[in-house]
Chain A
Amino acid sequence: MTDSQQESTVGRRTLSRRHLLLGGAAAGVGAAVAVGVDLVQRSGGETGLPAPEFYPTGNDTEPFYGTHQSGVMTSPQAHVTLIAYDLLPGTSREGVERMLRLLTDDAAKLTLGSAALADTEPELAVVPARLTVTVGFGPELVKRVNPAALPEWLTPLPAFNRDSLADEWSGGDLLIQVGSDDPLTVSHTVRMLSKDLRAFATRRWAQSGFRRALSSESPGTTMRNLFGQVDGTVNPAADTEDFDTVVWQGDGAGWMAGGTSFVLRRIAMNLDTWDKLDRSGREQAMGRNLKNGAPLTGTKEHDEPDFEAKTSLGFPVISDISHVRRARSENTHERIFRRGYNYDEAIGDGHDSNAGLLFISFQANPTTQFVPLQKRLDELDLMNEWITHIGSVVVAIPPGCTEGGFIGETLFR
């Protein structure tokens, strides 16, 4: 390894390059000086034009330690894999602690772009690309550690009439959400964590999802699902009081203070029958237009829908049984934070698609915030014609931890 390569590695590990270029606080004087020198050196090139700029975003990192776990408020990465595990019968409270310490150590190292301990492919660890590892507990894990600490809401969702749930997409004692803008990083991280979990648990299922690739569109653009719809317009903004209220558990929540709940609904979308529907039918079903996701009574995505507006014939512009209308509650407590992904997988016989949505939501209390909402949609929603819920998961996302601690430590106190 040459000196310059070595220095480059040091630079990468120490500071996120994007932070350096934005003149972030972390970079300080050294970076500003370096940028200045670099520009001076470059300005006298043959053409006199600045060189095209290329900055690998793979070195960007998200924090691991903190009040909350990353991967909730984190701006969604392009790729996600969710894995659920069932604890082995012999994994006791003490075993769960050992397992969580290993997971924490792996996750802390990998999110920084460092190999995990005993990582057999350390070269795959050096591109974190905003890697986050989020750990969630099913009821069984909480019971193994401290049965008295089981939150009332930590239970499978009630059965909804239209549910067609498969075991292979539902449940689990331990859930791990691995997100990154680089799918190779996701794969390596899942592999590393899986090896460390072998002694404690067996894998129950794995589900992967994707959004637009990094930098394909402006940051903050609302996701599109595979029906072509803008999906997730009504969402509390990160780092706001509203987000805190909707998502995080408060100080009174005991070991869960600073944590949240995670709901996953695997929603199969029938692209074949959706194809038969014309554009205006699609927009009526949703209550929003397809062009930019604006409500049918508005022009911009974030315009408030006007449910009172009537057509010249006296019908509501936004149908009373459209998705937007049915999802809206008069009770402002019944709100959630969505962070979903698309899936598109191997095709089964007789179909041209096996695609859908990993509907993922975070909310302080799934029973009082998510369930009423889903109950209304289950009862009546034009979109139900083309979608089927085939998987369901609820886990507790414990708060974050500080260096030296481990995710879930508050459950052991």
Chain B
Amino acid sequence: MYTRSLTLTALVAAGLLALSGCSSTPTPVETTAVAADALTVSDAWIKASDTGMTGAFGELNNSSATDITVVAASSDAAATVELHEVITGDDGNSLMQQKEGGFVVPAEGTHALEPGADHLMFMELTDKLEPGQTVSITLELSDGSTVKIEAPVKQYAGANESYAPGHGEPTDGSDSSMDNESTEH
């Protein structure tokens, strides 16, 4: 019974793909292509925080036939923004640290930034990030081009990973996790 609707949907989807294929001409990849033209970010958001640090997430989409690497990020909302990954430490706990080589978004593929995995780490927030605000983030790609994205601030209870030793520990002795709650006062 269920097969029928799956068959139907698959066919429809295939039909739509075929239709869209007709309407667009494939663009040959040129060596002069700017990576930023092929990189989009969907569903970007950043965790609300009163002070210190927080994480930003979303899905990186690469529409080109070449891998794209995000090598750096910046924002007016923080002194620095780092590219982080989450690893499992020797004791089995999740730890975060800077990602060597940046985020590689595969050709015609995606790379997810999400709590508990790769993410953008905002260090030393310039002001508190309140739910519903929008934060601008600039991603720098390996060819030097940049992509600017807007990320709404959301309250989020998770994304509380601690730092791996020697990675980005705050110098002011404050809590080194991302567990910051923001409420209206």
| Interface segment out of the listed A13-21, A65-73, A243-251, A315-323 | A13-21
> In the complex, what's the smallest C-beta–C-beta distance from A12 to chain B, in angstroms?
7
Interfacial residues of chain B within 131-168, with CB under 8 A of chain A in the complex: 131-133, 152, 154-158
Partner of A101, one of B10, B13, B132: B132
Q: Point out the residues of chain A lying under 8 angstroms from B130, CB to CB.
A: 95, 98, 199
Whether A17 contacts B9 in the complex (CB less than 8 A), given A53-B4, A199-B48, A199-B155, comes out as yes
Partner of A37, one of B11, B45, B183: B11
0 or 1 for each of B36-51: is its CB under 8 Å from A? (1 = yes): 0000000101011000
> In the complex, what's the smallest C-beta–C-beta distance from A86 to chain B, in angstroms?
13
Q: Point out the residues of chain A lying under 8 angstroms from B15, CB to CB.
A: 29-31, 33-34
Q: Point out the residues of chain A lying under 8 angstroms from B33, CB to CB.
A: none
Q: Point out the residues of chain A lying under 8 angstroms from B16, CB to CB.
A: 10-11, 14, 30
Contact status B154-A196, CB under 8 Å? yes
Contact status B155-A98, CB under 8 Å? no
> In the complex, what's the smallest C-beta–C-beta distance from A13 to chain B, in angstroms?
10
Contact status B1-A11, CB under 8 Å? no
Nearest residue in A to B132 (C-beta to C-beta)?
A98
Contact status A117-B131, CB under 8 Å? no
Q: Is the interface of A mostly helix, strand, loop or mixed?
A: helix
Contact status B5-A7, CB under 8 Å? no
A199→B128 CA distance, assembly (Å): 13
B31 at interface by CB-CB < 8 Å: no
B65 at interface by CB-CB < 8 Å: no
Interfacial residues of chain B within 2-47, with CB under 8 A of chain A in the complex: 2, 4-16, 18-19, 43, 45, 47
B172 at interface by CB-CB < 8 Å: no
Contact status B11-A199, CB under 8 Å? no
Total chain A interface residues with beta-carbon distance under 8 A = 45
Contact status B11-A34, CB under 8 Å? yes
Number of A-B residue pairs having CB atoms within 8 Å of each other in the complex:
111
A99→B47 CA distance, assembly (Å): 15
Contact status A55-B10, CB under 8 Å? no
Contact status B13-A11, CB under 8 Å? yes
Nearest residue in B to A10 (C-beta to C-beta)?
B13
Nearest residue in A to B57 (C-beta to C-beta)?
A118
B91 at interface by CB-CB < 8 Å: no
Nearest residue in B to A95 (C-beta to C-beta)?
B184
Contact status B132-A8, CB under 8 Å? no
Whether A38 contacts B7 in the complex (CB less than 8 A), given A20-B12, A117-B154, A118-B154, comes out as yes
Whether A105 contacts B152 in the complex (CB less than 8 A), given A199-B183, A200-B184, comes out as yes
Q: Point out the residues of chain B lying under 8 angstroms from A38, CB to CB.
A: 4, 7-8, 11
Contact status A199-B1, CB under 8 Å? no
Q: Point out the residues of chain B lying under 8 angstroms from A99, CB to CB.
A: 131-132
Whether A14 contacts B13 in the complex (CB less than 8 A), given A98-B130, A98-B131, comes out as yes
A229 at interface by CB-CB < 8 Å: no
Contact status B8-A34, CB under 8 Å? yes
B182 at interface by CB-CB < 8 Å: yes
A99→B183 CA distance, assembly (Å): 12
Nearest residue in B to A195 (C-beta to C-beta)?
B155
A35 at interface by CB-CB < 8 Å: yes
Interfacial residues of chain A within 139-178, with CB under 8 A of chain B in the complex: none
A56→B157 CA distance, assembly (Å): 33
Q: Point out the residues of chain B lying under 8 angstroms from A118, CB to CB.
A: 45, 47, 57, 154, 156
A51 at interface by CB-CB < 8 Å: yes
A122→B75 CA distance, assembly (Å): 28
Contact status B6-A117, CB under 8 Å? no
Q: Point out the residues of chain A lying under 8 angstroms from B6, CB to CB.
A: 4, 8
A231→B13 CA distance, assembly (Å): 43
Contact status A54-B4, CB under 8 Å? yes
A256→B32 CA distance, assembly (Å): 53
> In the complex, what's the smallest C-beta–C-beta distance from B94 to chain A, in angstroms?
16
Contact status B183-A31, CB under 8 Å? no
Contact status B5-A56, CB under 8 Å? yes
Contact status A51-B4, CB under 8 Å? yes
Contact status A12-B45, CB under 8 Å? no
> In the complex, what's the smallest C-beta–C-beta distance from B4 to chain A, in angstroms?
6
A-B contact pairs, 25 of them (CB 8 A): A7-B14, A11-B13, A15-B12, A17-B9, A27-B12, A29-B15, A29-B19, A30-B16, A33-B15, A34-B15, A37-B11, A38-B7, A41-B7, A51-B1, A52-B1, A53-B1, A54-B4, A90-B185, A97-B132, A99-B131, A102-B132, A102-B154, A105-B152, A117-B152, A199-B48
Residues of A within 8 A of B (CB): 4, 7-8, 10-12, 14-15, 17, 20, 27, 29-31, 33-35, 37-38, 41-42, 51-56, 88, 90-91, 95, 97-99, 101-102, 105, 117-118, 120, 195-196, 198-200
Residues of B within 8 A of A (CB): 1-2, 4-16, 18-19, 43, 45, 47-48, 57, 130-133, 152, 154-158, 182-185
Sorted nearest first, the 9 A-B pairs with minimum C-beta distance are A98-B132, A30-B15, A11-B9, A34-B11, A7-B13, A11-B13, A118-B154, A117-B45, A199-B131
With A31-B15, A38-B8, A54-B1 given, can you name 19 additional A-B contacts, CB distance below 8 Å? A42-B4, A52-B1, A53-B1, A53-B4, A55-B5, A90-B185, A91-B184, A99-B132, A117-B152, A117-B154, A118-B45, A118-B47, A118-B57, A196-B154, A198-B155, A199-B48, A199-B132, A199-B155, A200-B184
